[in-house]
Structure 1
Amino acid sequence: MNQHVNLPPGLQFPEDIVFTGYAAPVRIEGEVHDLEVIGRIPPELEGIYIRNSADHAYPPLHGKDIFLNGDGMVHSVRMQNGHADLTMRYVRTRKFELERKARRALFGAYRNPFTDSPEVEGEDNNTANTSVLWHHGKLYALKESGRPYEIDPNDLTTRGQSDFGGQLTSRTFTAHPKIDPENGDCVAFAYNCEGVASDEIEVYVIDKEGQFKSTERFKAPYCSMVHDFMVSRNFIAFVICPMVCDWERVKRGEAYWHWDSHKLTHIAVIPRDQGVKAIRWYTAPRAVMQTHTFNAWDDGSRLVLDHFVTASGWLSQFPDIHDPHAHEMPPFGERWVVDLASAGSEVKIERFINHIGEMPVVDNRFSMRRTRHFWFGTNHPESWPMLPPGPKGPPFTCLGHFDEQTGKIELFYAGPDSSPEEPCFVPRSPDAEEGDGFLMTMVGRRAENRTDLVILDARNLAKGPLAVIKFPCRVHEGFHGIWVPGNALGSDRGF
């Protein structure tokens, strides 16, 4: 006898900029062995390139969503003997597992528990979708609104959420930790430490074995999005920008963050040898949003902060509290100089890279001291303009290399309808001079709905690709990635 069954509605993503075209969810997990290679992968590249992305597994609970709220999808390209293998897998967060079991979205707006379905009340909404960390022999997927998730570096399976053996006291952890190249310490932090809006920031120092050397908290002037920070040899610096959160607005179902240009931008400077008890506060001359950082260095009397900043908040994701029609402004590379010998709180600002840009990197072997070479995503304002805006703003068409010693900017143009993502620097050898190595970037081939991994000579971008590793399909646009050398993984793991 046939029975009538009430079937659930079909899976359908909204016709929205976040879920259509090149930005559409990909949702593919699996492996592709022996990717097609145009050119030759340099023999020095034996290891794994790993990056994170936000790839919605299910249509949003409330019809629309922002790009940042996708589920963590990690992609790795293992390179060995000139061959390249691709692995792609979702991070099995608590959120992902609950929604996979229900076969639908259960969590609502970005970091807003008041918009979740009742059946997941009190559950963790961490998506683990922003970046990855390799430290003390372990790989972690990171999202600043939750704790790290440990994943297997070989097959990207999830090992579980981590509190570093009970050492992590905060419910959150930064997506931008810094590794000290001299002793291997990981300097990290957490904001909104209890998982709700607050003005507290917690600072950690983790040794190369994974043991916490220190944990300290301090209060910021207001609750701010603290996405990145900077560490020099002797100081830690936080830029507190007026991307603010008001928990009462969150309760009303409004966006978690709002841009408030009426507030000041502050800088916290913490001596590494004394900690937060010796914190000093400085004030920027105007309200700005720090996007991402290059590096910090100090010379005794000055602390120098090199980063990208914008005159607006991240308005493609979050609204302006005073002007709902405000447009997002492009970031520029700025150098902020703090006079440590002065009793005042002023900060000197100069534009040291007169070119729009984002996703900055340096040769991390030389970080925390003055560097010469800087790489970033950008475009050529005349010859190669940016592509039409997508769900995370206008995509770039180029990568840039700025040599501060010569003052020159060199560009790599990815091609028509092509958008490079954050570059990743890999030294040619452990003892190579600064900047001598390779630059990797995922490149979205938008007209072909496909993705490549491009390898460049880091100090000769204009020469073009040394190798193009072609993916047979599109993978979702990502945020941040790292290189893990094969010798760090060990010979028993395939190297």
Structure 2
Amino acid sequence: MDRRELLRRLAVAGSAPFLLPPAAHAKTPPNWQQQFLDSATPWKSAFETPADELPLTAATVRGRFPDALTGTLYRIGPAGHDLGGERNHHWFDGDGMAHRFVIDGSKVHHQGRYVATAKRQAETRAGRRLVEGFGTTFPGLEPVNSPDSMNVANINVLYTGGELLALWEGGSATRLDPGTLETLGLKRWRADLAGAPFSAHPRVDPDGTVWNFGVSSSNGLLVLYEIAADGALRRAEALPVKDLPMIHDFAVTPGHLVFLMPPLVYDAQRKAAGASFLDAHVWRPELGMRALVISKKDWRRRQILALPAGFLFHVGNAWEEERSSGTVIHVDYVRSPDASSVFTSTREIMRGRLVRSTPPHLTLASLDLGKGRATQVEWPLEAEFPRMDPRLVGLQHGFVIHASQTRDGLPLWSAVARTEVETGRSQHFSYGPQSLVEEHVFVPDAQGPGWVLGTVFDWGQKKTLLSCFAAEALADGPVAQASLPYALPLGLHGNFVAAT
């Protein structure tokens, strides 16, 4: 596809689904903010809106963080949930707040700062919501004139080419100052990619090459990116995919890009009738889970294999095995039987309600490209937010670090686990009945087996804790822990950047 055609397709992808006016017949919704305030659930403080920025603050540290952890853990998540007496109707709609935990042995400092997106700035000035979100609509909202007018920059952060990028799902990455978290504006990879979807889950090869994608559901376009280690765009292209679903994550191998596509498909008629972007999607189990495999060298070479219908947010990793029949790709991911969690669980917490959906389980799929056949095994282990050794992206990796263990009466997770993906053998550490676990990451150590680093929200103390574990002795508990004098809103993803 030549540059002119790519520009035309991305221009269509960036505007067509957003130029519809808000539905005039939309009913006045219940006051979710009042429902949240009236809720008696003890964990709801994890989803409160911080009123201000959080200046650089020293944590209380028990133990000493290993030398390999000297550096900064960057994290981000939805934080601005309330405005003008209205509360978002989905956790994923909150204005993004970026965090940095600066670690140096027995010292840890934290800073939190809202990402100054165009959406947040305009709505803060107006004192009310102006445009819809991923899962939220209100009567009287303005038409959305581009994806970036909805961009809340709240899902993940990527450090590449000397830049720190706050990532959303349906629009541009947002540049942040790594030392102050000041918002520096949108990242423009190329003029014709302005506003194009750039996923929150890029994959970084061991040589530093960044691979990413973006989904334009209403136009059936999958945008692919290849970015050099220095941050320079090598190539980008928009590819048509039939029945393109909601895709949140993917995997890479040395030779391929791997997309597991759940049967949650966009319905333009629902969107035209006034549904939110989320509610414009329909569950079509007859499509199954389709595994789309694309050659890294030639994006025109693609293959689709069939798996049983299921839903996923996150992928752990993928690797290739050569057999007599051809290449077999193994990919581990966290699988749910359906998409109820994104429609109910992560929505109802916005009014302080717990609606439990079937938790996802760690699953290992094998894609036999030569035979055109896919199989999978699902381990009886609750899992979410899988992370692995970043040096082994696309290679056989052995284990993942992930959140685990749901508890009665609590949303999300209360433990962190280390699980062998090919056997299901696992060890875990439980933070206790008053804790909500966030994503933990693996940090390599040239002198040993590495470390596990992550945050947990203790709703009993109303504090956020940063913990470090020896990767091979996770069940033994933290070797060091930093306690903030306050609680952070529950967030999503992050990455560690070693000091230089």
Q: Quick check: TM above 0.5?
A: yes
Which segment is superposed worse, 332-341 or 126-135?
332-341
Q: Name the CA distance, whole Å, in 1 between partners of 2:269 and 2:138.
A: 11
Where does residue 369 of structure 1 map in the other structure? 395
Question: Which letter maps to 2:214?
Answer: A
Where does residue 6 of structure 1 map in the other structure? none
Where does residue 152 of structure 1 map in the other structure? 177
Residue of 245, 253, 260 corresponding to 2:283: 260
Are positions 1:440 and 2:461 aligned together? no
TM-score when normalising by structure 2 = 0.84
The answer to whether the 8 Å contact 2:89/2:135 transfers is no
Where does residue 179 of structure 1 map in the other structure? 204
Where does residue 411 of structure 1 map in the other structure? 428
Deviation at 1:141, TM superposition (A): 0.3
Are positions 1:234 and 2:259 aligned together? no
Mapping 1:220-369, distance limit 5 Å: 220-257=241-278, 258-264=281-287, 265-275=289-299, 277-284=300-307, 286-300=308-322, 301-317=327-343, 328-342=357-371, 344=372, 346-351=373-378, 353-369=379-395
Where does residue 413 of structure 2 map in the other structure? 396
Q: Name the CA distance, whole Å, in 2 between partners of 1:235 and 1:245.
A: 26
Cα deviation 1:280-311 (Å, max 9, x = unaligned): 11111x21112211100012321111111110
Where does residue 24 of structure 2 map in the other structure? none
Q: Name the CA distance, whole Å, in 1 between partners of 2:161 and 2:404.
A: 33
Q: Name the CA distance, whole Å, in 2 between partners of 1:78 and 1:98.
A: 31
The answer to whether the 8 Å contact 1:109/1:115 transfers is no
Where does residue 350 of structure 2 map in the other structure? none
Q: Name the CA distance, whole Å, in 1 between partners of 2:290 and 2:56.
A: 47
SS in 2 for 1:104: coil
TM-score when normalising by structure 1 = 0.84
Deviation at 1:172, TM superposition (A): 1.3
Q: Gaps spanning 5+ residues in structure 1: where? A: 1-10, 320-325, 380-384, 488-495
- The alignment covers a number of residue pairs equal to 449
Higher helix share: 2
Q: Name the CA distance, whole Å, in 2 between partners of 1:405 and 1:279.
A: 26
The answer to whether the 8 Å contact 1:362/1:374 transfers is yes
The answer to whether the 8 Å contact 1:131/1:175 transfers is yes
Q: Name the CA distance, whole Å, in 2 between partners of 1:446 and 1:354.
A: 28
SS in 1 for 2:120: helix
204 and 109 in structure 1: CA distance in 2 versus 1, 3 angstrom threshold: closer
SS in 2 for 1:101: helix
Residue of 60, 63, 76 corresponding to 1:39: 63
Deviation at 1:472, TM superposition (A): 0.7
Where does residue 110 of structure 2 map in the other structure? 86
Question: Which letter maps to 1:280?
Answer: Q
Deviation at 1:34, TM superposition (A): 2.5
The answer to whether the 8 Å contact 1:68/1:317 transfers is no
68 and 235 in structure 1: CA distance in 2 versus 1, 3 angstrom threshold: same
Where does residue 27 of structure 2 map in the other structure? none
Question: Which letter maps to 1:414?
Answer: Y
Are positions 1:162 and 2:191 aligned together? no
459 and 336 in structure 1: CA distance in 2 versus 1, 3 angstrom threshold: same
Question: Which letter maps to 2:75?
Answer: R
Residue of 411, 418, 424 corresponding to 2:441: 424
| Percent sequence identity over aligned pairs | 24
Are positions 1:452 and 2:465 aligned together? yes
Cα deviation 1:205-225 (Å, max 9, x = unaligned): 100122222212222221311
Deviation at 1:101, TM superposition (A): 1.4
Residue of 127, 132, 153 corresponding to 2:157: 132
Cα deviation 1:371-403 (Å, max 9, x = unaligned): 112111001xxxxx52524xxxx3211111113
Where does residue 26 of structure 1 map in the other structure? 50
Mapping 1:64-83, distance limit 5 Å: 64-83=88-107
What is the RMSD computed on CA atoms of the aligned residues?
A: 2.6
Cα deviation 1:50-97 (Å, max 9, x = unaligned): 111101253378655111100000111011243111110000000011
The answer to whether the 8 Å contact 2:263/2:311 transfers is yes
Deviation at 1:160, TM superposition (A): 0.4
Question: Which letter maps to 2:443?
Answer: V
Q: Name the CA distance, whole Å, in 2 between partners of 1:418 and 1:219.
A: 43
The answer to whether the 8 Å contact 2:197/2:215 transfers is yes
81 and 375 in structure 1: CA distance in 2 versus 1, 3 angstrom threshold: closer
Q: Name the CA distance, whole Å, in 2 between partners of 1:238 and 1:471.
A: 38
Q: Name the CA distance, whole Å, in 1 between partners of 2:165 and 2:309.
A: 33
Residue of 493, 496, 499 corresponding to 1:480: 493
SS in 2 for 1:459: helix
Where does residue 226 of structure 2 map in the other structure? 205
Cα deviation 1:191-216 (Å, max 9, x = unaligned): 11xxx623110111100122222212
| Higher RCO (C-alpha 8 Å, min separation 6) | 2
Q: Gaps spanning 5+ residues in structure 2: where? A: 1-30, 346-354
153 and 477 in structure 1: CA distance in 2 versus 1, 3 angstrom threshold: same
Which segment is superposed worse, 235-244 or 214-223?
214-223
167 and 128 in structure 1: CA distance in 2 versus 1, 3 angstrom threshold: same
153 and 109 in structure 1: CA distance in 2 versus 1, 3 angstrom threshold: closer
Question: Which letter maps to 1:75?
Answer: H
Q: Name the CA distance, whole Å, in 2 between partners of 1:119 and 1:243.
A: 25
The answer to whether the 8 Å contact 1:179/1:185 transfers is yes
Where does residue 323 of structure 1 map in the other structure? none
Q: Name the CA distance, whole Å, in 2 between partners of 1:249 and 1:402.
A: 40
Deviation at 1:418, TM superposition (A): 1.0
Q: Name the CA distance, whole Å, in 2 between partners of 1:24 and 1:103.
A: 18
SS in 2 for 1:477: coil
Where does residue 476 of structure 2 map in the other structure? 463
